[in-house]
A and B are shown apart, each in its own frame.
Chain A
Amino acid sequence: MEYPQAVPLKYGINPEVCLKLTKDKCGTCEEVCPANAIDYTQTEKTLILDAGAIIFSPGFKPFDPSKFDNYQYVNYPNVVTSMEFERILSASGPTMGHVTTFPKLPLNPKKKADKLLAEKRKDPKKIAWFQCVGSRDMNKCDNPYCSSVCCMYAVKEAIIAKEHAGGDLECSIFFMDMRTPGKEFEKYYQTAKEKHGINFIRSRVHSVTEDFDTHDLQIRYADEMGQIVTDVYDMVVLSVGLEITPETKALAGKLGIEMTANGFCKTDSFEPVTTSRDGIYVAGVFNNPKDIPESVLEASAAASAAGDALSEVRDTLTKEVAKITEVNVVGERPNIGVFICDCGSNIKGVVDTAHVTEYAKTLPYVTFADENMYACSQDAQDKMVEQIKEKKLNRIVLAACTPKTHEPLFQETLKSAGLNKYLFEMTNIRNHNSWVHKNNPEIATQKAKDLVRMAVAKAALAEPLREEKINVNASVMVIGGGLAGLTAAKSLATQGYDTHIIEKKEVLGGEALKLFKTAQGEDVGERLAELVQAVTAHDKITVHTNTTLENVEGFVGNFKSVLKTGDKTIELEHGVAVLATGAKSSEPTEYGYGTDERVIRTLDLDKLLKENDARLAAVNTAVFIQCVGSREPLRPYCSRVCCTHSVDNAIALKKRNPAMDVFILYRDIRTYGERELLYKEARELGVIFIRYDVDKKPVVTIEKDGLKISLNDHVLNRPVTIDADLLTLAAAIVPRRDERLANFFKVPMNDEGFFIEKHAKLGPAEFATAGVFLAGSAHYPKPVNEAITQGRAAASRAATLLSKKDNLFTSGSIASVDAEKCSSCGVCISICPYSSPRFVSEGRFEGKAEINGVLCKGCGLCVASCRSGALHLRGFDTNQIFSQIFALGEVV
């Protein structure tokens, strides 16, 4: 068994070490297993599966640094990999979340040598992270690419290590370029520096040596001035890269999938999840190194690609889920079961959960209480179903983590036990308690008891609630006719849904119309034209150009939008909406932009290259300045695409005229993934990279015979001046900040004006508003392949909803009106942000308020505003809230 939350949670026998299987000895497990589950005779079986498509997502392996003799990972007990450090930080890891030296030793070692070492164990005071171990390295290994995730995870590990170890832990990250080009990543990096005091040292560490006695680690490196520095650390974490295993490469070879030289899948920027083999799609790190949200997007995108190919055989092989009949508990005396979760050591490390469990048993109506190490694990869930049935429990209280992520899971558990899912109350004794009061365990235990008592008081009054069925209009509105929008529309139309594209400009294509080539060299103009052609010709797609959105009403499955084309308005009914409004290049306010035609933006250079402009022939020296308007207090984010774009254009210039001098002035080069190969190629072609600091920016003087660009050279450490005749500024990419659109769909934007997705990791292509999806640079700046991936991902997420047809339900926890008490004042109607309450137009209660259950989000605004006490929020009724408050006031 790998870990407590493993799915399925079953023990397995490792055939390589099992004595019975290898030497026909032992056999103890068969004798002791009470369930007779051990069967040594099982052998490998070959199954033949019939499938219409394959999704290949084999993943990666963290790089093994054993062969790096300068870091001595194998021999030094305090040199660990970043993956091992993740386990050290984890409550379910070998040190149970305690950051300690000698982490690889067992907690209570038995061997004599281990015992001696364990005596030297201490809480580290200084930890160093070495970046790019097994990445961007052709000397000690053969991985020239950037692994894309290590900079961010190292920052995260350093922050969490400080949280675990307390304030005086010193964390230093040794890096080459800090690569934090994802959404909210740059802010995280700045917070790590400024708030958490993590040191960032730009250097590749030469070697590590160990003190024979203490096992402290001495490291040697050259600082930015070229001075050799030696320093002593208690622990070193090697930030290992991502690597494709030989087994994966062999399997991919067997499947006939083409790979890059580094063993990643070869894909086209315009078909980013399609392998070279028909019918096989790809997702995750095998399709280039990437983080979780990118993997999640590709997962959905691959599903959309497979869905496109198989749309006519949808629903042919699926089966209905057997429904479990709900037990009627109305009128029964409450029989409350309380489940307390330890969350590994997350809760139990602070709260005395055994005591809270015993306490729960003494509360009114509680007939059963139990404690679980991980209540969300499969075995705990199964046990819970059994306990509910056996003890005839009819109300369930769970004291654990946050309902935001885990309530649906436990509600499913209730359903499997035959209970209405609203007979459930979850209280958060982790985020609201053990995490915030970790230094006061006694008070935390008391608070857990209070929270449980309140939850029990509320649960006693819980009633089963009913969910209304929603009919889904199977048509789609896509807002924005750029790459992401076009891709989403094409996929959904191919899957059989009527799709409308709303584009405010005259032509489709968006910002991509201005691009020259992708990072992989595809001609954007050509490929975009093909996509536009396919979309325009599709009989399920209606294109509305020169069109704006004037109003949106309705809710998931049943939106009604008003479109305006010229002075004509039409009303469009649709079940879902995809927001793909894109982003644009900003107007720089520095480096002489706008005062001289030799100072241009990246997209202007693309135009020159695209049109093979004669101006380029006259250029002898071209300079690029990166981060113009990005990564500054005004725009504290990285625009993600500019490094690759400038490097790519620099290569294009060098290839046109090898005699041209090309300089790129940068802060960190962020050519993530295999884009790193472009950076390497540019240097090989003679492009010169000079790093500048944000507080010492290059100075541009415009003179008649040329541009003079002065800055401090980071290698020579002295000022240099470049005489240039073309200066290209990598201008920040800015969102459109469309407040009106955000209001129409009730979707949020972040400080900079990018839309905020449902979940940063697990919901990157959708909004918290049901039925509204998100794709492209309106989410965050992104290159062609990522915009297309997200377009497909949004389509896939939308398809899961559209294909449900009549299988979609509202929440049961919505407002309701006691018409007898309603005074028809109309406050609820004016206050509701979702337009759910309305006046009854006929019958006995004419003029009284009623609630449209499909629109109601259960926010409770109307309930609080009702002066007659006529409004109730199901599941949060006044008596339930008061019972909680009274329970809090009870002295224990």
Chain B
Amino acid sequence: MNSKKTGSVVVIGGGISGMLSALDLANSGFYVYLVEKGPSIGGVMSQLDKTFPTNDCAM
């Protein structure tokens, strides 16, 4: 087993958690592969109309 570490991370799932994990990692110096099964990222949150408790638009 190669003990040398690799400076990249695979994020599985392009919902709100996956996207933000990917952003934090990319913004702190890691190369990120964001893997999503569907044709677009955004997950369930992008299907929501508004969010509680502020009633902000979910998009």
Contacts and interface: CB of A to CB of B under 8 A. Distances in A.
B31 to A, nearest CB: 4
Nearest to B25: A303
Given A292-B45, A314-B7, A317-B8, A187 B53 contact: yes
Contact of A56 (B12, B28, B48, B57): B12
Contact of B7 (A52, A83, A93): A52
Contact of A796 (B18, B28, B46): B28
B16 A296 contact: yes
9 contacts: A52-B5, A54-B10, A57-B13, A59-B18, A60-B44, A86-B49, A156-B53, A283-B18, A313-B5
B51 to A, nearest CB: 6
Contact of B30 (A1, A2, A310): A310
Contacts of B48: 86, 90
Contacts of A376: 59
A751 interface: no
B46 A160 contact: no
A572 to B, nearest CB: 23
Given A184-B53, A295-B16, A59 B7 contact: no
B17 A51 contact: no
A54 B18 CA distance: 11
B27 to A, nearest CB: 4
Interface string A83-104: 1001101110100010000000
B9 A51 contact: yes
Interface in A279-294: 283-285, 292
Contacts, number: 202
A799 B29 CA distance: 9
A3 B42 CA distance: 11
Interface in A146-205: 152-153, 155-156, 159-160, 182-185, 187-188
Contacts of A304: 24
Contacts of B10: 49, 51, 53-55
Given A87-B49, A283-B18, A314-B28, 8 more contacts: A51-B10, A51-B33, A59-B43, A60-B44, A152-B53, A183-B53, A184-B53, A285-B17
A439 interface: no
Contacts of A310: 5-7, 9, 30
A156 B16 CA distance: 20
B53 A182 contact: yes
A295 B20 CA distance: 9
Contacts of B16: 284, 292, 295-296, 299
A58 interface: yes
A318 B52 contact: no
Given A51-B8, A52-B8, A89-B50, A761 B17 contact: no
A760 interface: yes
Contacts of B19: 299
A521 interface: no
Interface string A803-846: 11000000000000000000000000000000000000000000
Interface stretch (A5-13, A118-126, A464-472): A5-13
Interface residues of B, number: 47
A315 interface: yes
B7 A55 contact: no
A303 B32 CA distance: 11
A868 to B, nearest CB: 42
Contact of A59 (B5, B40, B44): B44
A760 B40 contact: no
Pick the most buried of B17, B22, B26: most chain A CB atoms within 10 A of its CB. Answer: B17
A300 interface: yes
Contact of B54 (A1, A86, A760): A760
B44 A800 contact: no
A296 B20 contact: yes
B39 A299 contact: no
Interface residues of A, number: 81
A219 to B, nearest CB: 25
Contacts of B45: 292
A163 to B, nearest CB: 9
B53 A317 contact: no
B30 A93 contact: no
A316 B4 CA distance: 12
Nearest to A797: B24
Interface of A: 1-3, 5-10, 12, 49-60, 62, 83, 86-87, 89-91, 93, 97, 152-153, 155-156, 159-160, 182-185, 187-188, 251, 283-285, 292, 295-296, 298-300, 302-304, 306-307, 309-310, 312-319, 346, 376, 401, 405, 760-762, 796-797, 799-800, 803-804
Nearest to A303: B24
Contact of A299 (B6, B24, B27, B44): B24
Contacts of B21: 55, 57, 283, 299-300, 302-303, 306
Contacts of A314: 7, 28-30
Nearest to B33: A49
A796 B24 contact: yes
- The 4 tightest CB contacts between A and B, nearest first, are A284-B17, A303-B24, A299-B20, A313-B7
Given A5-B59, A55-B10, A57-B12, A87 B28 contact: no
Contacts of B11: 54-55, 57
B7 A315 contact: yes
A373 to B, nearest CB: 13
B41 A83 contact: no
Contacts of A313: 5-7
A13 to B, nearest CB: 10
A381 to B, nearest CB: 14
Pick the most buried of B18, B20, B39, B56: most chain A CB atoms within 10 A of its CB. Answer: B20
A299 B48 CA distance: 19
A59 B49 contact: no
A405 to B, nearest CB: 8
Contact of B9 (A54, A156, A319): A54
A318 B9 CA distance: 11
A436 to B, nearest CB: 14
Nearest to A248: B13
A52 B12 contact: no
A762 B43 CA distance: 15
Contacts of A804: 27
Contacts of A317: 6-8, 30-31
Contact of B50 (A3, A57, A156): A156
Nearest to A51: B10
B49 A56 contact: no
Contact of A318 (B18, B30, B57, B59): B30
Given A156-B52, A761-B51, A57 B18 contact: yes
A58 B52 contact: no
A90 B56 CA distance: 12
Contacts of A292: 16, 45, 51
A153 B55 CA distance: 10
